[in-house]
Amino acid sequence: MEYTMTIVWLLAIIFGIAIALLAIKSLNKDKKVRTKYDERQLKIRGDAFKYGFFATLITNGIIMALAASNLDAFLGMNAYFIPIFIGVVTQMTYSVFKDSYFGINNNSKGYLAFMAFIGLLNFAIAIFSTIEGELITDGVLQSSFLNYLCGGLFLILAIELRIKNIIDKKA
């Protein structure tokens, strides 16, 4: 069926969102889905999203400029996700170092444990794909590279939170 992969992707996205919402609801201190931020955090998160937006645009521009080169052909469909990854990392980094990543009602330790699990799961899938020779096919990076990006995202978050913790203790 020609729409099979599209349906599979849509179901995977819906399933992922459902799992995320369930996790957020169970991990928040007030058992609500919505994360609460105070006024300072909201302002900083607004700035963080702005910087993330521009980082996404710039990265997208760079990839478009590479459109005629072999690198663009190598990236395949991952070219769509790398700018999003850069934007998310930018927003996340700014929020973490300005104490605005976790909200007032977040159970930060629970979140970290959940994110560690998701990150490790993604790395496991990515490494398995690499071992099976499915990472690069016909000279094109395959979608299993996204698992490296997801795992990398959570690894970056863990490192940033650790650095922030060290900075706060020294202050």
Partner 1 sequence: MKNLKLKAARAASDMSQDELAKAVGVSRQTINAVEKGDYNPSVNLCISICKTLNKTLDELFWEN
Contact between 99 and partner 1 per CB under 8 A = yes
Kindly tell me which residue out of 39, 68, 131, 170 binds partner 1, with binding defined by CB under 8 A: 39
- Can you state the angle between helices 4-27 and 108-131, rounded to 10 degrees? 150
The answer to whether 41 contacts partner 1 (rule: CB under 8 A) is yes
In the shown chain, the binding pattern of residues 138 to 167 toward partner 1, with x for contact by CB under 8 A and - for none, equals: ------------------------------
Cβ atoms < 10 Å from Cβ of 12: 10
β-pairing, 140-141 vs 136-137, is antiparallel
Site for partner 1 contains 104 (CB under 8 A):
yes
Phi and psi angles of residue 114, each rounded to the nearest 5 degrees, phi first: -65, -45
Q: Does 134 bind partner 1 (CB under 8 A)?
A: no
Of the residues 40, 50, 109, 162, which one makes contact with partner 1 according to CB under 8 A: 40
Segment near partner 1 (CB under 8 A); pick from 36-44, 69-77, 86-94, 134-142? 36-44
Cα separation of 133 and 66, whole Å? 26
Q: Is 38 in the site for partner 1 (CB under 8 A)?
A: yes
Distance CA 90, CA 14 (A): 25
Please identify, among the stretches 8-16, 17-25, 38-46, 115-123, the one whose residues bind partner 1 according to the rule CB under 8 A. 38-46
List contacts with partner 1 (CB under 8 A). Answer: 38-41, 99, 104
